[in-house]
Amino acid sequence: MEAELVVLGAGPGGYTAAFRAADLGKKVVLVERAPVLGGVCLNVGCIPSKALLHAAKVLEEAHEMVPAGLGFSRPPIDLDKLRQWKEGVVGRLTGGLTKLAQMRGVTVVQGTGRFVSPSEMEVSDERGGVTRLAFGQAIIAAGSEPATLPFVPRGSARVIDSTGALEIESVPERLLVLGGGIIGLEMATVYHALGSKVTVVEIQNQIIPGADVDIVAPLLKRIKARYEAIKLATKVTSIEERPDGLMVGMEGAAGAETQLFDKVLVAVGRAPNGRQLNLEAAGVRVDERGFVPVDRQMRTNVRQIFAIGDIVGQPMLAHKAVHEGKVAAEVAAGLHSAFDAHVIPSVAYTDPEVAWVGLTEAEAVAKGVAFGKGVFPWAASGRSLSLGRDEGVTKIIFDKETKRILGCGIVGPNAGDLIAEAALAIEMGADAADIGATIHPHPTLSETIGLAAEMFEGTITDLMPRPPARSARG
């Protein structure tokens, strides 16, 4: 078999690269080991987790309307139906991708690809068949897999990763979430809503360590009140399988302890798949952690071989992979493209959602950047209060001199949707006046971005612009 361009991996980065290259006239073969397109994100990541998070939200919101006079009794939960519904959501998207591949004339080959030379790949299918594929150019989009820890028992049905957690085989009574990052906290949200008693253990002294502490604080406060325990600055040191559960050893500021759990979700990050592709046969450099170094055109050290997505480095996010995929396809087709995004937004779809983009306040301080900030508390947002929520915050970091926006952090319902405006503002070089003078629709949560800029400018009227001056009578 021959391909002008082969794309290895059909996640968001890979299928985007394949489709864009086909649209630019390339004869494309897309190699994917799973029987469906979409990769981790569509099948066992972003999309099924969002479907389950929606179910969690319905459960939580119904419960929270009791004080407003709407008394819902707790609904019976049918895990089989919930799973089927989630799979239906995924199926619509992956089915759509198959049709799009057909319409573009992209040939999909199912199997596991490995390089045998700088211009050839072998694709092995599950039945032991091997297809030899000669290519002119290749785009590696083979992603990442969940990382694990040496003391985690292998093969235990009680130990799950994000893929296992999304299967919702059961609702464990006592769930330990190992890692207070995005996956850990999103899955904690789901399992808490379904009825598990959730304990989160995070090695750093903050959940979601990439975001500012004040932006994470409202989430921490809410989950502290609802979950069994949030153990910060705590290390899991051992996990021992017993007939009645998993005995977990932990060490934190308060000393060492052991506790029994029915299941443990391991969510301590993801590791790139760079070591699984026999890249040395193609002469492609892989670093010691398994990442494939690339330049701004997404080229590896071998000119005709590109790499994109999780396998080229952090952040391991679908939306980064998609843009890199477009760049790689365009460069492969002879266009003068380069990956030149200033910022990549991050979102945790927890309740409340946490989103941030560009420079965080902690980074600004660490780098000695001269900055100012505008902070708008959602307790002053009519829209937020009408949702029954008041804990949100929108914070914008500005360059002190030019007043250009450098970064933004948002916590609150729908923060993940709101952060896009800040990303656009950064890409466009907007300053505080641009943002504050942009008319945001009322009453929306999006107003909080304009109002945060007004807080910085001192033009806010919905709150006091500065600490009020002392009156004459003191």
Binder of ligand NAD out of 269, 290, 293, 372 (CB under 6 A): 269
Nearer to ligand NAD among residue 9 and residue 179 (C-beta): 179
Both tokens assigned to 139 = 């785009």
Number of residues that bind ligand NAD (CB under 6 A): 26
- Cβ closer to ligand NAD: 200 or 396? 200
Structure tokens at 251: 């060490």
| 272 touching ligand NAD, by CB under 6 A | no
- In whole angstroms, give the CA distance from residue 125 to residue 131: 8
Least Cβ distance, residue 123 to ligand NAD (angstroms): 27
List 258's β-bridge partners, or say none.
249
178 binds ligand NAD (CB under 6 A): yes
Asked whether the beta carbons of 413 and 383 are under 8 A apart, the reply is no
Active-site position among 192, 336, 342, 442: 442
Q: Is 235 in the site for ligand NAD (CB under 6 A)?
A: yes
CA angle at residue 158 from 152 to 160, to 5 degrees? 70
Q: Give the containing element (helix H, strand E) for 79.
A: helix 79-104
Q: How far is residue 10's CA from residue 140's CA, in Å, rounded to a whole number?
A: 10
For ligand NAD, the binding residues in 134-153 under the rule CB under 6 A are 149
Report CA dihedral (433, 437, 442, 446) to the nearest 10 degrees: -40
Q: Which of 9, 48, 184, 413 binds ligand NAD (CB under 6 A)?
A: 184
Query: Does 176 participate in binding ligand NAD (rule CB under 6 A)?
Result: no
Tell me phi and psi for residue 275, to 5 degrees.
-90, 0
Least Å distance, CB 144 to ligand NAD, is: 7
CB 8 within 8 A of CB 138: yes
Q: How far is the CB of 289 from ligand NAD (least distance, A)?
A: 13
Binding segment toward ligand NAD, per CB under 6 A, in 125-133, 172-180, 217-225, 398-406: 172-180
141: closest CA among 3, 311, 319? Answer: 311
Question: Among residues 6, 29, 182, 449, which is the contact residue for ligand NAD, using CB under 6 A?
Answer: 182
Instruction: Tell me: cis bond preceding 352? Omega within 30 of 0 counts.
Output: yes
> Any residues with CB less than 8 A from the CB of 40 and at least 6 apart, and which?
11, 143, 144
Report the site for ligand NAD in 293-352 (rule: CB under 6 A).
315-317, 347-349
442 is catalytic: yes
d(CA 66, CA 72): 7
Return the residue of 91, 118, 136, 209 that touches ligand NAD, per CB under 6 A: 209
DSSP letter (8 states) at residue 8 = E
In the bound state with ligand NAD, the residue whose beta carbon lies nearer, of 131 and 204, is 204
Assess 268 for contact with ligand NAD (CB under 6 A): yes
Which of 56, 141, 176, 202 touches ligand NAD by CB under 6 A?
202
Per rule CB under 6 A, is residue 201 in the interface with ligand NAD?
Answer: yes
Instruction: Give me the residue whose beta carbon is nearest to ligand NAD.
Output: 181
HSE at residue 222, side-chain half, CA atoms within 13 A, is: 23
Q: Using CB under 6 A, list all residues that contact ligand NAD.
A: 149, 178-184, 186, 201-204, 209, 235-236, 267-270, 315-317, 347-349
- Residues belonging to the active site: 442
